[in-house]
Amino acid sequence: QKAEWAKLVNEQTVTSDGHHVELAANIGTPKDLKGVINNGGEGVGLYRTEFLYMGRDQLPTEEEQFESYKAVLEGMDGKPVVVRTLDIGGDKELPYLNLPKEMNPFLGFRAIRLCLEEQDMFRTQLRALLRASVYGNLKIMFPMIATLSEFRQGKAILEEERQKLQAEGVAVSEKIELGIMVEIPSTAVIADQFAKEVDFFSIGTNDLIQYTMAADRMNERVSYLYQPYNPAILRLVKMVIDAAHKEGKWAGMCGEMAGDEQAIPVLLGLGLDEFSMSATSILKARSQIRNLSKSDMETLASEVLQMSTTEEVLEAVAKATQR
């Protein structure tokens, strides 16, 4: 099987009825690029920049960040690269920021919330990204967006830094898309309003599932509630994709669900445009998608949206995909 998949490295990801989707990779450092290229990744759908900040005792400089972002953009040779701004907090700590301990770190002062407060840190990252933007196809994404106001504030800061750089005579790409992670239910619910202002969505199911089901993604005792195929999750995913398409924007997914063999048929049917997963899952997913028909998966998707349990959904997926 592996040998069969390997033949697909340079192939497009096209369904049996001719619909193209993009299979991208999640990465954590420039070192991961080799795996993306060897596995035929069509882009980077999520560059988690946290690792640049972790395992050290002070913030990375603008220059250090610039070098990392540039390396990834050049390494991908013009293919899309979605860089997520700092998503620290929750399970990922930065001891040197000296943040007070919280009762509920996953519901606390993290990610974009922290960045909008600690603006020096945020602006440094944005400047490094803007400077790197001329080396490839950069898209910037904010994590943990819960309100339109947060997105607008983040965007305004980005625009300020762009103008400052341009005033200094530094080259910045004119076509950087700016999007958000949809990983908080409030944002999924009003995705139609966000879609008018963002360039794209990337659905972060790892968090979206935990927040929708109120089940800590790290807690074994409640893992039975952590249900990717629960129709409640599928309906949220549909709302996000439909909202994007209505405004002519694209919708991707960078949570684990995007690389899940049982979820892929449904996501395809819901119209997801980009699937971002660990590089080692790409060829298998490409092989799977090439054997699925988009129109059959649309039928499957509309059926499962009317179901009420995970079990029913999985049974329907199994039926629709057995050949």
Residue numbers at the binding site for ligand PEP (CB under 6 A): 46, 48, 87, 183, 204-207, 254-255
Phi and psi angles of residue 177, each rounded to the nearest 5 degrees, phi first: -75, 145
- The residue range among 60-68, 134-142, 196-204, 311-319 that interacts with Mg ion, by the rule CB under 5 A, is 196-204
204 touching Mg ion, by CB under 5 A: yes
> What DSSP line would sit under 125-177, residue for residue?
HHHHHHHHGGGSEEEEEESS--SHHHHHHHHHHHHHHHHHHHHTT----S--E
Q: What are 82's strand-pairing partners? A: 139
Eight-state DSSP code of residue 100? P
Eight-state DSSP code of residue 271? T
Closer CB to ligand PEP, 183 or 274, in the complex: 183
Burial class (CB in 10 A: 0-12, 13-18, 19+), 80: buried
Nearest Cα residue to 287 out of 310, 321, 252, 257: 321
Closer CB to ligand PEP, 165 or 215, in the complex: 215
Residue 13 contact partner, candidates Mg ion, ligand PEP, none, CB within 5 to 8 A by sort of partner: none
For residue 321, give both structure tokens.
Answer: 């995909």
Residue 52 contact partner, candidates ligand PEP, Mg ion, none, CB within 5 to 8 A by sort of partner: none
Minimum Å distance from CB 205 to ligand PEP? 5
Closer CB to Mg ion, 203 or 279, in the complex: 203
Minimum Å distance from CB 92 to ligand PEP? 8
- The residue range among 39-47, 178-186, 236-244, 278-286 that interacts with Mg ion, by the rule CB under 5 A, is 178-186
Which residue among 22, 32, 161, 183 contacts Mg ion (CB under 5 A)? 183
Helix, strand, or coil here: 238? helix
Instruction: Answer left, alpha or beta for residue 131, where phi above 0 means left and psi between -120 and 50 means alpha.
Output: alpha
CA separation for the pair 204, 297 (Å, rounded) = 22
Closest residue to Mg ion in the complex (CB): 207
Residue 205 contact partner, candidates Mg ion, ligand PEP, none, CB within 5 to 8 A by sort of partner: ligand PEP
Minimum Å distance from CB 193 to ligand PEP? 21
Residue 228 contact partner, candidates Mg ion, ligand PEP, none, CB within 5 to 8 A by sort of partner: none
Site string for Mg ion, 41-80 (x = CB under 5 A): ----------------------------------------
Q: What are 92's strand-pairing partners? A: 89
Q: Which residues are near Mg ion by CB under 5 A?
A: 183, 204, 207
